[in-house]
Structure 1
């Protein structure tokens, strides 16, 4: 995968970064923790300019969030409530739970989207509840762009500073991403067990 990412950035430049970050949001196994530091390293060689690398990463990330946002909007609250009432007993999820989560997202939606764009594994999925809760598109775009810009800037700058050792970013953030996923799964399992009791 590294060779493909490298050749895409080298051959397409900023457009390649936009494309890779778009795909990273659609297919989460593609790691932004590798894409953006590599792009930052490429900037140290003088092939790309650092601010434009960050901008390209942000644009690709925001574009990748849009399909998930619209998927949530298309699915809609009514459909989800019907699915929860019909099949939710397996996950101890009901339409009342969806209503509570909607109220929570109504209060904290912007902050949730902003920080969600920075948290590995959550980055892709946070757009779904935003669409589901009919978050105003302008607000969604603002918080998604801000969070994505921060994430892209941190990773790009790390690759820029580390130079040829840019892969260290993915080496250290990769396990963190896995830990976040495990913690989320364990927390969800505990929630399900308590609900069943």
Structure 2
């Protein structure tokens, strides 16, 4: 099933896709520190059907940096230590990993549920995706944004009531050919984090 939602305001580009929590970068270049993000806004239509979770996995107390194992870090090409922080937008822990081609961020969002994307007012296009590990999944993009339309994608995984896992990628546009399409790359990162989460929860 696929659902697309168009929203107002292009400022969310940063909040969503650059690392979520001061996570809005002014450029499409990965950063080792987390930038400032505007408050998210959303307007969406109600989906015809919503996948159900196979179980609930609470994110309270989870360290997002630990959701990417050393083996997974090597597979993605992360050679530097990740940067930890707190997302001001989502009021939740986040961890950012950098390569020479992109910046990847995992945010363990505990201050709101996935319904914020389904029925709220975020400035993004929201598309239903195939579930990850059986958990309902959305992709968020900014197709009309002059900078972020080609370089940013967020993957939202509904893991518990009032909580979700957020995987975002910001690609250096000159390096885009070195990576899969932006949402595929963000999904691969989300799949890695979910593989760890489901085996350790």
The structure with the greater share of residues assigned to helix is 1
- TM score, norm. by length of structure 1: 0.27
